[in-house]
Chains A and B, each alone.
Chain A
Amino acid sequence: MSKKFHVSTTVNGDPVEFLCDSRETVLDVLRDRLSLTGAKEGCGTGDCGACSITVDDRLVCACLMLGAEAEGKSIETVEGIAAGEDLHPLQKRFIEYAALQCGICTPGILVAAKNLLEKHPDPTEEQVRYWLAGNLCRCTGYDKIIRAVMDTAAEMREAS
């Protein structure tokens, strides 16, 4: 049995410490040690994007980063998107447009879309589609997701 690592990180703005085995991924740590079950394991090999989180503002697959690698990093997950009871504009649009059905892909897509809008507040549809290319959805056919992201972007630009 390999030794345990003591890891200090920030998760959704809060300082968090955990112990983990070298074999655990960040996704294992979030779900099994920190009870943050928003990020999902669809494939475990980087293909589906259901585990998308941001680490120091980079959009990454939590299933392919080791827990031990998270030392000193700042992690954001879907749990940090809403302000308390107030849903993020993206979340409101996703509900309004029925941009989710089974919901497995939704946490990853919300994290990815929020990260995109922070970098590009006025994306073209092509940019949105390419940005979300690593997030598979087997239910919606993508169109509602793309429209929800485009319209949220417009709404957020007007509000700012």
Chain B
Amino acid sequence: MIPAGFEYHRPADVASALAILTTHGDEARVIAGGHSLIPMMKLRMAEMGHLVDLQDITELKGISVDGDTITIGAMTTQHELITSDALAEAAPIIREAALVIADPQVRYMGTIGGNVANGDPGNDMPGLMQCLDATYILVGPDGMRPVAAREFYEAAYFTAREDEEILTQISIPRPAPGTGYAYEKQKRKIGDYATAASGVMLTVAGGTCTSASIAMTNLADTPIWAEAAGAALVGSDLGEDAITAAIAAAKDAIDPVADNRGPVEFKMHVAGVILRRAIDRAIARAG
């Protein structure tokens, strides 16, 4: 039982959902899979007068790969990300990351939209979206606006999304053929959020790294795109010196806090280990 009462709405299209949000302002909140929001409501960490369930809105569902662009509807579940063959071919790092989120029960309900809109630094998809340079499509009373994932996160639970806006789609540039990739996550047990996680994508031509994107999860109050860490690899032979420099740059970019997953020194250490593993695996996969 959720302690505080609320009105439940289940609109059939985005326009009706927006109308409810506009009428009730910050008294209303959308619910996707509910797997972050319902626990918060039970713990009285989230309260609202009106809950707007997006599950019947078919325009928010589906995955399409069209030329150089991958488009994923906000209400696509983690299970659907894992089982999409088109997505596995176009950007296999998404399946790899979705598979280390929680357990089958959570992945059947949790959506990519809820995961990236939530603003919890523990969520895995926001870091992945930094790595992939995704764009979020937000629709509000004033129309549609795209926001780069790398510009979206302001602080824990604070994002560029306005209260009356709905995230409808995520647009991702299709990684070039032969891109090496890895999403590595250290967690205490299956179902736990990351102690440290890292997404890496890189390309190699003739033994030289030609591009690299590195992101870190749950190591600051927002996901971190470690631009300097990627830059440390580009132009190098991906040897020990370059990797050491990339890890140092990533550690400079993060700012973990001590919690029940460990003290700061430990998280810094694990971040380095996880990033090294991700880089090694991405190199092995680059072709």
Contact = CB atoms under 8 A, between A and B. Distances in A.
Given A28-B1, A58-B79, A64 B7 contact: no
A112 B103 CA distance: 11
A65 interface: yes
Given A22-B51, A46-B105, A64 B8 contact: no
Interface residues of A, number: 32
Given A44-B42, A45-B42, A64-B39, A23 B1 contact: yes
B174 interface: no
Interface in B26-75: 34-35, 38-39, 42-43, 51, 53, 55
A66 B8 contact: yes
B6 interface: yes
B6 A49 contact: no
Contact of B108 (A59, A71, A130): A59
B178 interface: no
A134 B7 contact: no
Contact of A64 (B10, B34, B51): B34
B130 to A, nearest CB: 26
B53 A133 contact: no
A23 B191 contact: no
Contacts of B7: 2-3, 22
A52 B109 CA distance: 13
A68 B1 contact: no
A91 interface: no
Query: Which applies to chain A's interface (DSSP): helix, strand, loop or mixed?
Result: mixed
Given A23-B1, A23-B4, A134-B106, A69 B39 contact: no
Interface residues of B, number: 28
A135 B8 CA distance: 29
A24 B1 CA distance: 5
B106 A46 contact: yes
Nearest to B34: A64
Contacts of B35: 46, 64
A61 B109 CA distance: 9
A69 B53 contact: yes
Interface of B: 1-8, 10, 34-35, 38-39, 42-43, 51, 53, 55, 79, 102-106, 108-109, 190-191
25 contacts: A2-B7, A2-B8, A5-B8, A22-B2, A22-B8, A23-B1, A23-B2, A25-B38, A28-B1, A44-B39, A44-B42, A58-B79, A60-B105, A60-B109, A61-B105, A61-B106, A61-B109, A64-B38, A65-B109, A66-B38, A71-B10, A133-B190, A134-B102, A134-B105, A134-B191
